[in-house]
């Protein structure tokens, strides 16, 4: 079992989501460290890594929100990106060394014509410079050690892909809406190859992660002010922000107490273990395996799984 990180001195019980607009030049891990130092939450994590050369939406889960990170990471993502044609690079972005060149520059009409091939569930090979684990080592660590790994093809989902502009013959700007696990660097590389040339991502910005968008985001320059202001935590979004698609189930006080103890609660019919006014036959609405938000009034008690007329706590939140 891994050791739990010791809370920083003066740690505060902050629970919710902070959406950071990550600048270029720092890793997602470094961004987490900066937020931790400024706000001193008991726990912190991020939902969806951004490369150092990428900017944009990096949702930060504080406190009990860390128990819901998987729901944010599973959310649909939107990226704006620019492909630079004529060079292939080791990292599939501007940080790597050049491995191949091409004099071919695709016509705008040819770019638009090929985009439908990249929409839907498509095969994709991740970059060798990625955080994917292979035999216990990160792919990027192997690549940096001069042992570039053989990356397995996987299926990813592209919901939408549009050409936004063509600034010059060397570059094309796009926006993509995609599912979990999609590598935009691979997408840019594959687009170029399908157009008979080579290319890499020269700019990348994430504009949405699930329910989080740019209007929610704050910059690193605001962190110190957040850490010292009496109104510091207005940008903090509720834990439930990432749970909008999960059905809510109202509990009585006694039922909530049972769930907090890790015990199951009957919800089938009106004769549950702790009857409550207005209790309905949830079997008409839920199927076995469905996850629900177990609520005590307006307070989220737990994420629980419905099985055979009962809900069983999966993640209990200490709020």
Active-site positions read: 51
CA 92 to chain centre: 21
Q: For 49, left (φ over 0), alpha (ψ -120 to 50), or beta? A: beta
Distances (CA, A) of 132 to 138, 170, 183: 6, 30, 11
3-state secondary structure of 141: helix
3-state secondary structure of 102: coil
Interstrand relation of 44-46 and 154-168 (parallel, antiparallel or unpaired)? unpaired
- Give, for 28, the enclosing helix (H) or strand (E): helix 28-39
Q: Check residue 41 and report its DSSP letter.
A: B
CA 15/CA 4 separation, integer angstroms = 18
Interstrand relation of 55-62 and 199-209 (parallel, antiparallel or unpaired)? parallel
CB atoms within 10 A of CB 267: 25
Q: Check residue 6 and report its DSSP letter.
A: P
Residue recorded with tokens 């892909």: 161
Within 8 A by CB and 6+ apart from 142, the residues are 128, 134, 148, 149
CA 155 to chain centre: 18
Contact assessment for residue 276 and residue 255, using Cβ atoms and an 8 Å cutoff: yes
The residues that bridge with 61 in the sheet, in sequence order, are 17, 45
């Amino acid at each position: 079992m891994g050791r739990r990180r010791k809370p920083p001195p003066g740690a505060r019980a902050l629970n919710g989501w902070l959406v950071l607009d990550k600048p270029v030049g720092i890793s997602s891990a470094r961004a987490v460290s900066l937020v931790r130092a400024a706000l001193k939450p008991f726990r912190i994590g991020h939902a969806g890594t951004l490369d150092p050369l990428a900017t944009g939406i990096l949702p930060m889960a504080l406190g009990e929100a860390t128990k819901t990170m998987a729901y944010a990471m599973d959310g649909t993502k939107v990226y704006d990106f620019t492909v630079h044609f004529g060079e292939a690079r080791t990292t599939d972005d501007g940080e790597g060394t050049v491995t191949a060149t091409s004099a071919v520059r695709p016509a705008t009409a040819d770019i638009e014509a090929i985009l439908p091939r990249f929409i839907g569930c498509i095969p994709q090979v991740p970059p060798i410079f990625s955080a994917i684990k292979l035999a216990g080592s990160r792919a990027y660590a192997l690549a940096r050690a001069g042992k570039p790994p053989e990356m397995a093809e996987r299926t990813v989902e592209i919901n939408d892909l549009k050409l936004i502009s063509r600034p010059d013959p060397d570059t094309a700007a796009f926006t993509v809406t995609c599912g979990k696990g999609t590598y935009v660097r691979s997408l840019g590389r594959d687009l170029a190859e399908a157009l008979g040339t080579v290319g890499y991502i020269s700019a990348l910005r994430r504009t949405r992660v699930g329910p989080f968008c740019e209007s929610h985001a704050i910059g690193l320059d605001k962190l110190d002010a957040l850490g010292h202001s009496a109104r510091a935590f207005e940008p903090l979004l509720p834990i439930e922000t990432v749970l909008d698609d999960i059905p809510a189930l109202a509990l009585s006080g006694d039922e909530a107490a049972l769930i907090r103890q890790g015990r199951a609660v009957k919800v089938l019919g009106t004769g549950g273990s702790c009857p409550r006014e207005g209790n309905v036959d949830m079997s008409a609405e839920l199927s076995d395996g469905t996850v629900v938000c177990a609520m005590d009034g307006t307070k989220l008690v737990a994420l629980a799984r419905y099985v055979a007329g009962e809900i069983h706590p999966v993640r209990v939140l200490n709020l």
